[in-house]
Structure 1
Amino acid sequence: MNQQLYILTGASRGMGLAMAQQLLAKGNTLLCISRNASPELTTRALKSGQALMQWTHDLADAEGVSARLRDWLQSQDPGHFASATLINNAGVIPPVLPLRQSQPADLARALRVGLEAPMALSAVFLGATESWPMPRKVLNISSGLGRHPMASQAGYCAAKAGLDHFTRCLALDEALHAHGAKVCSLAPGVIDTDMQVQLRGTASEAFPDQSKFAQLKASGLLSSPEQAAEQVLRFLARADFGQLPVADVRG
């Protein structure tokens, strides 16, 4: 039986790790690209006999990681797969500061990991699999902060807004081809991850919305990484996936 191929970035922790665990549990072929490999995923794959590859690569090096992905995809036999999906999940939140206090290197890293790498990986994924006959999808993990501005979050907000808009452009490109990929930039809701810890822990003087994030935690309104992963993967499996190039799991 042909395998479903998933390529997932940022799979070593948080929602990315939860997605990887759930994809492995369903017997898929999984290629993870993260700064660090997950021993937990390795153990799970060995026990279940599932096909798992983990590449350790800094996604700030978009050119390097995309070239490696292109070479790997071109070496594959598409007959082994029933579908192919790229999930751009990795992101970086720079220090929570007004832009005038931010360091250029921090801003550059947030944009490289959160926007440049997804664009580069999407380009090589779609180019290398253009002749593959099976369904193909690109899922970009966005954020409500890409659609709603927030003080002291310019770098992260800009990366996610760019992710949304490049996905809109990509959807137009792919719609011109009979075998074009289905694409979507999806906001996964508010999740109890390291990012939330960072936002809650920032001094209110530097981050005017700090109390809002603290209240989300206190009120129990944050999804667990596992819950969020399940919602995202359910959305990815929907028959109408890609009908809207920019969407939210909450409707």
Structure 2
Amino acid sequence: MQLFIITGTTRGLGFSLAEEALKAGHFVISLSRESAFKMPSFINIKHDLTKIKGLDKKFLTALKKIDMKKVKAIHLINNAAIIGPIESAEHFSLEQIDTHMQVNVVAPMYLTSLVLKTFKKKKCFQTFTNISSGAAVRTIPAWSLYCSGKAGLRMFTDCLADDYKKTNNLRFLDFSPGVMDTNMQATIRKQKSKTFSRLDDFKQLKEKNLLLSADKVAMALLEVLKDPKAIDKTHYDIKDLL
């Protein structure tokens, strides 16, 4: 049995990742607003990722329900993210900036630290995957917060890969899932063209059926994680896996 710790499993890629992991007979600890599955091998930790305080206690309590002696590999997948606000920086409020960075950057960093600390003495393979984006490496109009957060998370992943390169059982991945047919894409398509100049481009992706299914992306990532020993790089792109 392997243990998957996944954020944002209510819908989209997170839901698909949890579903496929459960189908494969693994145990899933979810950190989401709602519990997506009702089965013995699934535990949902209901927690607001904009507020980290208290998360460690909830996580350790969840672990007590699992026979860790049976766990042969541990996978943290930082999937939860928000896209907004989509607008120029002059309109940002402090609350918007704080909320965005707490979910997209601070929570993944903290969870990585928590999992590293919790399982430091466990010798099985442990993987840490941060769901990335093309926005991490190129600018997109009105996405300055999202681009910056994803770029920061990408650098965090690179730093960890370097810091722990001599620790043989740890793997750190930056995974770019491409453009998927999810609620985030629906949110993007609801923007106003005067605020988001690339609105038509994203509408055409949907109209031309160019969006990837979350299920297909989830299966591709899980195939990579299936054999942690074989993971030999930090950056993975869905285009290279399909």
Number of matched pairs: 240
The answer to whether the 8 Å contact 2:171/2:228 transfers is no
1:32 aligns with 2:30: yes
Counterpart residue type for residue 171 of structure 1: A
Higher alpha-carbon deviation: 162-171 or 56-65: 56-65
1:158 aligns with 2:158: no
Higher alpha-carbon deviation: 95-104 or 140-149: 95-104
Secondary structure of the corresponding residue to residue 239 of structure 2: coil
The answer to whether the 8 Å contact 1:143/1:188 transfers is yes
Per-residue deviation, residues 187-235 of structure 1 (Å, max 9, x unmatched): 1111011111111121111001111101111111101221221222223
Residues 70 and 18 (structure 1 numbering): CA distance in 2 closer, same or farther, change over 3 Å? same
In the TM superposition, 1:93-112 aligns within 5 A as 93-112=83-102
Cα shift at 1:102: 2.1
Cα shift at 1:74: 7.9
Distance 2:107 2:148 in 1: 14
Higher alpha-carbon deviation: 58-67 or 17-26: 58-67
Counterpart residue type for residue 30 of structure 2: C
1:21 aligns with 2:10: no
Counterpart residue type for residue 223 of structure 2: R
Distance 1:73 1:128 in 2: 10
Cα shift at 1:75: 8.4
Cα shift at 1:239: 5.5
The answer to whether the 8 Å contact 2:125/2:229 transfers is no
After TM superposition, the score normalised by the length of structure 2 is 0.92
1:10 aligns with 2:29: no
The answer to whether the 8 Å contact 1:185/1:247 transfers is yes
Name structure 1 gaps, 5 residues minimum.
none
* RMSD of aligned residue pairs (Cα, Å): 1.9
The answer to whether the 8 Å contact 2:8/2:79 transfers is yes
Counterpart residue type for residue 81 of structure 1: V
Residues 75 and 224 (structure 1 numbering): CA distance in 2 closer, same or farther, change over 3 Å? closer
Q: Percent same amino acid at aligned positions?
A: 29
Higher alpha-carbon deviation: 228-237 or 148-157: 228-237
After TM superposition, the score normalised by the length of structure 1 is 0.89
Please name the residue that 1:192 is paired with. 181
Secondary structure of the corresponding residue to residue 127 of structure 2: strand
Distance 2:106 2:124 in 1: 27
In the TM superposition, 1:215-230 aligns within 5 A as 215-230=204-219
